Amino acid sequence: MLRFAPSPTGDMHIGNLRVALFNYIMSKQRSEPLLLRIEDTDQERNIPGKEDEILAILALFGIEHQEHQFQSNNLRFHRAMALQLLHDKKAFSCFCTPETLEASREAAKENKTAYRYDGQCENLRAEEVIDNTNPFTVRLKKPSESITVKDIIKGESTFAPNDIDSFIIMRADKLPTYDFACAVDDMLSDISLIIRGEDHLSNTPKQIAIQRALGYDRVIEYAHLPIILSIEGKKMSKRDDASSVKWLLEEGFLPDAISNYLIWIGNKTPCEIFTLKEAIKWFDLQSISKAPAQFDIDKLKFMNREHLKGLDPKELSRYVGFADEEIGRLAKIFLDEVSTLKELRVKINAIFAPKIVPDEFKEGFDVLKKLTLVAPHFDDYDSYESYLIEHSGLKGKNLFKPLRYLLSGSEHGPELNDIYTYLKNYLKEVAK
């Protein structure tokens, strides 16, 4: 089983979506189920409603999962496993106060050495533990041997016992730490491959140490995905709008285009424009670059335009708020100028909205408008144009400029002939 394990603590970031997509693709390739595990144990940071948002986004992108868990429902297992580790003397109770620990941390900083737990409580006698009524945490004893993480993208990295240290697995409030909850859950769900962001790479040896201490011997595969940077090469923060999946959708990027971009970026793909379904056929984690990927919104716009071009006209029509496929065809001819649905809606709405026409063309516009309202139906643009010329006496710029305002609501745009082809059944509405 594979898993996608988001925390409901903020908007879904493009990095999270990329992780979800890759997990989905690999689960399909391996015919293994995908688990959605909502990591909601950090109650202070949970934001109500975020879980529904995650579910809605996954559904919109066609990322299906077969199992759904809330990490908070597994607390009894986390506690049972912590007790087991204490019983086996692989973990110990630590009564060190936050103040003492902070002081050692400060001291390490001053000495410019890496902070390590000093082992103070590791060998307390049973009575010392039993008689102590102070709050305590549970620490896993640091492993006796180094731990090597084999990563499909990053290669091998080895962590010495001292780097792993005797770290906390249960906090004083008896809630598991992130590493402990995650390691236990992955073990209980029999996860075969973990794909996640590279910010978690330093957690991996700790999670392996926990699983080994619990006697779990399945070798889980790992793939830590390089971070996505902004075009300036900086970390994309929550303040970069484009890092939010919700923002991209609101701006009118199609889910298919966003998936295409997130699979393509920092990867070697056999082609540039593809669907998620196609990617399942050839996707290879080994082709993902080790180096950070850079998010280029212009490239995403290009891909979005390609996906918009490929849409069925009826579907495109619905996206811009109409039901008739002719409007979808009409929308397509504006794709040379725009790249998102939001921009496309502006173009289509301008056709049907009351028009603002510059004074110099106002008179001609009013004449053409009246004529169009009473004109018979013409199947082709040339006949319509001849009719207007004949009845208005306008020609050249004095005909075409106001006519363009009438048919498109703006001064520039696609060929009038093309616009007319798809708009001819709406002329009375457009001129009203």
Instruction: By CB under 6 A, name the binding residues for ligand GLU.
Output: 5-7, 39, 182, 196, 200
Residue 13 or residue 332: which is nearer to ligand GLU going by CB? Answer: 13
> Could you tell me the two tokens for 189?
């769900």
Q: How many other C-beta atoms are found inside a 10 Å radius of the C-beta of residue 232? A: 7
Spatial neighbors of 232 by CB under 8 A, at least 6 apart, are none
Residue 58 or residue 303: which is nearer to ligand GLU going by CB? Answer: 58
Count Cβ neighbours within 10 Å for each residue of 287-325 and write b for 16 or more, e otherwise.
Answer: ebeeeebbbebeebbebbbbbbeebebbebbbbbebeeb
Place of tokens 């912590």: 82
Residue 5 or residue 338: which is nearer to ligand GLU going by CB? Answer: 5
Residue 16 or residue 408: which is nearer to ligand GLU going by CB? Answer: 16
Strand bridging mode 34-38 / 293-294: unpaired
* Least distance (Å) between residue 403 CB and ligand GLU: 55
Residue 5 or residue 140: which is nearer to ligand GLU going by CB? Answer: 5
Q: What letter does residue 30 receive in the DSSP assignment? A: T
Report the distance separating Cα 25 and Cα 285, nearest Å.
10
Residue 9 or residue 66: which is nearer to ligand GLU going by CB? Answer: 9
Report the distance separating Cα 147 and Cα 161, nearest Å.
8
* Least distance (Å) between residue 203 CB and ligand GLU: 7
Strand bridging mode 147-151 / 34-38: unpaired
Report the distance separating Cα 364 and Cα 376, nearest Å.
19
SS3 of residue 286 by DSSP: helix
- List 138's β-bridge partners, or say none: 93, 170
Residue 224 or residue 307: which is nearer to ligand GLU going by CB? Answer: 224
- List 35's β-bridge partners, or say none: 3, 67
SS3 of residue 294 by DSSP: strand
CA 412 centroid distance within chain: 36
Residue 72 or residue 275: which is nearer to ligand GLU going by CB? Answer: 72
Residue nearest to ligand GLU (CB): 196
* Least distance (Å) between residue 89 CB and ligand GLU: 28
Residue 182 or residue 330: which is nearer to ligand GLU going by CB? Answer: 182
* Least distance (Å) between residue 196 CB and ligand GLU: 4
- List 36's β-bridge partners, or say none: 4, 68
Report the distance separating Cα 346 and Cα 48, nearest Å.
34
Q: How many other C-beta atoms are found inside a 10 Å radius of the C-beta of residue 409? A: 21
> Could you tell me the two tokens for 361?
């063309």
Closest CA to 196 of 209, 210, 206, 182: 182
Residue 7 or residue 74: which is nearer to ligand GLU going by CB? Answer: 7
In sequence order, which ranges of 251-324 are alpha helices (DSSP H)?
255-264, 276-282, 297-310, 313-319
Residues recorded for the chain: 432
